[in-house]
Structure 1
Amino acid sequence: MRHAKAEQVGPTDHQRALTPRGLEDAAAAGRWLAAEGIVAQAALVSAATRTRETWGALSDAAGWSLEAAFDEGLYAAGPETALDLVRAVADDTGVLVLLGHNPTMAYLAQMLDDGDGDPEALAAMAASGYPTSALSVFEVDAPWADLGVATARLTAFHVGRGA
């Protein structure tokens, strides 16, 4: 998932906070995940303010009490580094939320897709430009350590937008 809409400026880029719209969009994404029956078992979240705030609104709206792992490295990670972080997740983790920044999240979603998933989700993801609050849901049939290019099936794509 890409973080929700953030302020254009902050004391530093790392400290940019979500806008009111961003908070509502993240909550809308959480409500969508709950409606889809998706329950996170682990979360790897960039340590930036906007991703922390996205996680808070998302997880609250989804009804999750899960503690996220906030990772400083995910803030500036490229897609290969983000993939390495996912590969280090415990094999007994069934559902993982990865929450970070663009262009990394968009590139990673494209890299992981094996082309055999939901055609409507794939078309929506490709056409979207991966805006703020975009999330891609994948099925993975291998241990996290074996995750690589074209090893996951896209099952859903959604952009959280509040009322």
Structure 2
Amino acid sequence: MKIILVRHGEAENASSTISDSQRDLTDKGVSDIHKIGKFIKNSSLAVKQVYYSPYTRTKHTAEILSEELKYSCEMLPSDDLLAGKGCTDIISCLVNFTNSDTVLLVGHNPDITYFAAKLLGNSSAAENLIFQPGSTIAINVAREKFAHGQIIWAISPDNLGI
């Protein structure tokens, strides 16, 4: 199966008046996610399901991606993608898809980085994966193992001139 991991776009700074879970995207974050959405849309991958962490910034990221992808199905919030959860519990949802399906997950760092390394079957790969806000990686991995996957792409919005 193809798993597209996206770190939420650049978010507002934390403050005493806004909880971490309520921080929204900055204007740059919104612009960057539109770029990433266009990039994914122009790829050969057709997203079957979108899951996102129920934080404001990840939900907003998923909404922008869905708009760019013309994704019309329901996006699903998942507590498995909350900051600090590590993302691996989402596998219990992913086993219901086929190896030809593509699923998009919107989450937080460093969880997205560690999950990507797990899917690649190499925990030390996390040291070489840089997930700036809005970055994405697509991994082709067998749903029977969820390990030893191959990178399809890895890109930051700063590298896109779209």
TM-score range, shorter chain: 0.7 to 0.9
1:114 to partner: Cα distance: 4.3
1:155 to partner: Cα distance: 1.4
1:4-46 CA-to-partner distances (Å, cap 9, x unmatched) read: 0000025200000000111111111000001112221011100
Q: How many residues align?
A: 148
Matched to 1:104, the amino acid is D
Structure 2 residue 88 is the aligned partner of structure 1 residue 83: yes
Matched to 2:90, the amino acid is L
Tell me the C-alpha RMSD between the 2 structures. Answer: 2.2
With over 3 angstroms needed to count, the CA separation of the structure-2 counterparts of 1:87 and 1:72, relative to structure 1, is closer
1:35-75 CA-to-partner distances (Å, cap 9, x unmatched) read: 11222101110000000000111121122223211123421
Matched to 1:84, the amino acid is D
Q: Which residue of 1 aligns with 2:49?
A: 42
Q: Which residue of 1 aligns with 2:154?
A: 157
Structure 1 or 2: more helix by fraction: 1
Segments ≥4 residues shifted beyond 4 Å: none
Cα distance in structure 2, aligned partners of 1:67 and 1:88: 15
Structure 1 unaligned spans of 5+: 116-121
Q: Which residue of 2 aligns with 1:118?
A: none
Q: Which residue of 2 aligns with 1:142?
A: 143
**Secondary structure of the residue that 1:88 maps to in structure 2?**
helix
Q: TM-score, normalised by structure 1?
A: 0.80
1:88 to partner: Cα distance: 2.5
Q: Give the fraction of aligned pairs with identical amino acids, expressed as a percent.
A: 24
Cα distance in structure 2, aligned partners of 1:40 and 1:77: 25
Q: Which residue of 1 aligns with 2:19?
A: 12
Instruction: Note the 1:1-163 alignment, pairs <5 A.
Output: 1-9=6-14, 11-79=18-86, 82-89=87-94, 90-92=96-98, 94-114=101-121, 126=128, 129-143=130-144, 146-147=145-146, 150-161=147-158
